Chains A and B, each alone.
Chain A
Amino acid sequence: MTQLDIDVRSEHHRLLLAVSGPINSYTFTDFQEKVYKAIAQSDTAIDMEKVTALSSAGIGVIMTAMEDAEATGHGFAIVNPSEIVRLAIDSTGFGDQFPVVKSLKLV
């Protein structure tokens, strides 16, 4: 899968972004735009089950979204991350600071 696809829908009083494909240096700006827009509006969850790559640029976007969530008082979570997403988060050396949950029911 070479294209990034982001489906945004409202679910249980929050925005759910279902992301498919690679978040890399070529695609991350679309991810950035949609994530920042969502977090400015409401509680946000990002379903990353079908993400096939996550570069440092994508990690940087998630870190900024975490701070935006704190600033706006909105909830933010990464849901059901794929193996490569978990590996990318762990490789930062501070993976335990990312709000990762296995299921939307746990948000």
Chain B
Amino acid sequence: MGRGGSRVRAAEATVVLEAKTASILDYESFVDNLLFLTERDRCRLKLAGGEVFDNIVKHAAPLCDGRLIARAARRSGSASILLGFYFSSKSFDSVAAEAAGTDGAKPVFDPAHRRWRGMGMAMCRNLARRVSFRPGETMDRIYLEFDPA
């Protein structure tokens, strides 16, 4: 599960989440308790990671075992922050395509739900230095990398 090469992690924490909308509350609670991060860094992980979580639930569910893992880590040295989502899905490609397709996308108004949509991944990319997707034989991965605030 993506160990980030030889770079040493100064601190890390992991949570296992059910792949359902209500579990966004568990994800936010997980981030609130990442006390090795600053308040501003926690805010960035909560916002950007929340958008990724929503996309996984919306586009990749049902997951093969119904759960996904989120792991946050701060690297020693550079102090950069990594947030990884690990899950197993038969529709990972559609998640990645959805995310990749929103590069520079403009918001669109959804008249059925009476609200503007399509900003989630753009917000995510503005909050994180890098967002990457890696499908795997047994596990798919989405990584977000942040510079320290």
A contact residues vs B (CB 8 Å cutoff): 2, 22, 24-26, 32, 36, 52-57, 59-61, 63-64, 83-84, 87-88, 90-93
Contacts and interface: CB of A to CB of B under 8 A. Distances in A.
B44 A87 contact: yes
Chain B interface residue bracket vs A: 20 to 34
Contact of B54 (A55, A64, A90, A91): A55
A53 B116 contact: no
Contacts of B40: 83, 87
A36 B114 contact: yes
Interface string B111-144: 0001111111011101100000000000000000
Interface stretch (B2-10, B17-25, B63-71): B17-25
A25 B43 contact: no
26 contacts: A2-B25, A2-B28, A22-B24, A22-B28, A24-B28, A25-B21, A25-B24, A26-B21, A32-B115, A53-B28, A53-B47, A55-B47, A55-B51, A56-B117, A56-B119, A57-B117, A63-B115, A64-B109, A64-B115, A84-B43, A84-B47, A87-B127, A88-B47, A91-B124, A92-B126, A93-B126
